[in-house]
Amino acid sequence: MRIAFASTPVGPLGSGVGGGVELTLEILAAGLQKLGHSIEIYAPSGSVLGGFFVNQIGGTLQTPAQDVDRGEPIAITKGSVLENIWDQIRRDQEKFDVVLNFAYDALPMRLTSLLRARVVHLVSMGSLTDAMDEIIVETSIRHKNAIAMHSRAQAQSFSGLSPDVRIVGSGVVLDNYRFNGAVDGALGFVGRVSPEKGVEDAVAIAESTGLPLKIWGLLQDAEYLQRAKSLHPRAKVSHEGFVTSEQLGRELGQCRALLVTSKWIEAFGNVVIEALACGVPVITYRRGGPAEIVVDGHTGFIVEPDNMGQMAEAVRQIGRIDRSECRAYVASNFSAESFARKVENWLHEALTAG
């Protein structure tokens, strides 16, 4: 297949603003290319992705959907990079069998019926606004196989979605994550430092367990982190900054456990499989994708949503988890190869469904 990738318009690839989408796109580009497909990428100017041709597209960046209130209508910004990406794809469409959209936006959904090329969407987040819910659900019903999601929990967050929606999971390149069998390190938190990620709960758990907490991730809301720290003055917290995925793969293994304290429904939670790949067990609230990935008592623990007492207790029990089982679980279920194959199957079916 000749495949065009339409990247997220919230930030250039490599900036971290796109969160999990950035690595997902990279893994799929490499994985689908290995399977013999040709890939061309359209992404905001400044995007960096080694080994691939990236059409660098200018324009105003989009506001991430997680920063918008549920009732807000869809805003179309003048001169937006989103519009420019799709205008370029419209002009180039004869070059492709299929256009794979990574943007969580209305415009690409609408274009599913307006472009001659087949357009399909890998939806990166759960339900966030009424307007986007409506358009995602409608697209899923009108266009068979046009939509894939990362987890069942993500799909369930939308009501009325077509049962044809594909669940494709996610994947990691195992070799990029260094296994570490040591169990006495700090607690870890990986993700954009932003309220929907619930960093404040991880800080509270660091305080109640007396263990240091290392945070890796883009500081999207510095005040929020400051507030969390001042609410829990005895917590030993260090912000390691936003590091490249190579560096994260080298450092993450030093953690005793990864805490996933998200307040929103994570579509998947790439950081969960990244930590497990390093041998780091994951303790998560029973909410969204992470609770679908973690095998309670084997690759970490699942505790009730927002129950920090239970999470602190799980931290104390973490020595019961076999770290090599965590890595083996990722190798069998979430390799980059198996993810690329699932997406390849979905694309084939989407093309035959027409």
Which of the stretches 25-33, 87-95, 239-247, 317-325 binds ligand UDP when contact is defined by CB under 6 A?
Answer: 239-247
Which of the stretches 77-85, 90-98, 243-251, 276-284 binds ligand UDP when contact is defined by CB under 6 A?
Answer: 243-251
* 169 touches ligand UDP (CB under 6 A): no
* 211 touches ligand UDP (CB under 6 A): no
| Among residues 27, 61, 225, 271, the one that binds ligand UDP under rule CB under 6 A | 271
* 270 touches ligand UDP (CB under 6 A): yes
- Contacts of 71 by beta carbon, 8 Å cutoff, 6+ apart: 129, 130
Cβ distance to ligand UDP smaller for residue 130 or 246: 246
* 219 touches ligand UDP (CB under 6 A): no
* 224 touches ligand UDP (CB under 6 A): no
| Among residues 248, 265, 311, 321, the one that binds ligand UDP under rule CB under 6 A | 248
Strand ranges, E, within 182-334: 187-190, 213-216, 237-241, 257-260, 282-285, 300-303
Which of the stretches 50-58, 140-148, 228-236, 237-245 binds ligand UDP when contact is defined by CB under 6 A?
Answer: 237-245
Site track for ligand UDP across 6-45, x = CB under 6 A: -------------xx--x----------------------
Enumerate residues 272-291 that contact ligand UDP by CB under 6 A. 274
| Shortest distance, position 277 Cβ to ligand UDP, whole Å | 10
Distance (Å, whole) CA 281 – CA 273: 10
Cβ distance to ligand UDP smaller for residue 59 or 171: 171
| Shortest distance, position 240 Cβ to ligand UDP, whole Å | 7
| Shortest distance, position 19 Cβ to ligand UDP, whole Å | 2
Distance (Å, whole) CA 201 – CA 207: 10
Distance (Å, whole) CA 104 – CA 107: 9
Strand ranges, E, within the chain: 2-6, 38-44, 54-57, 98-101, 118-122, 147-149, 166-167, 187-190, 213-216, 237-241, 257-260, 282-285, 300-303
* 192 touches ligand UDP (CB under 6 A): yes
Which of the stretches 4-12, 67-75, 185-193, 228-236 binds ligand UDP when contact is defined by CB under 6 A?
Answer: 185-193
- Contacts of 189 by beta carbon, 8 Å cutoff, 6+ apart: 199, 202, 213, 214, 215, 216, 217, 258, 259, 261
* 268 touches ligand UDP (CB under 6 A): yes
DSSP state of 93: G
- Shortest CA distance to 126 belongs to which of 308, 348, 291? 291
Contact present, 236 and 262 (Cβ < 8 Å)? no
| Among residues 148, 186, 190, 235, the one that binds ligand UDP under rule CB under 6 A | 190
| Among residues 216, 285, 301, 329, the one that binds ligand UDP under rule CB under 6 A | 216
- At 317, list the tokens: 């029990």
Distance (Å, whole) CA 127 – CA 52: 31
Nearest residue relative to ligand UDP (C-beta): 19
| Shortest distance, position 260 Cβ to ligand UDP, whole Å | 8
Sheet with 2-6: list strands edge to edge.
Answer: 54-57, 38-44, 2-6, 98-101, 118-122, 147-149, 166-167
Cβ distance to ligand UDP smaller for residue 48 or 76: 48
Q: Give contact residues for ligand UDP (rule: CB under 6 A).
A: 19-20, 23, 190-192, 216-217, 242-243, 245, 248, 268-271, 274
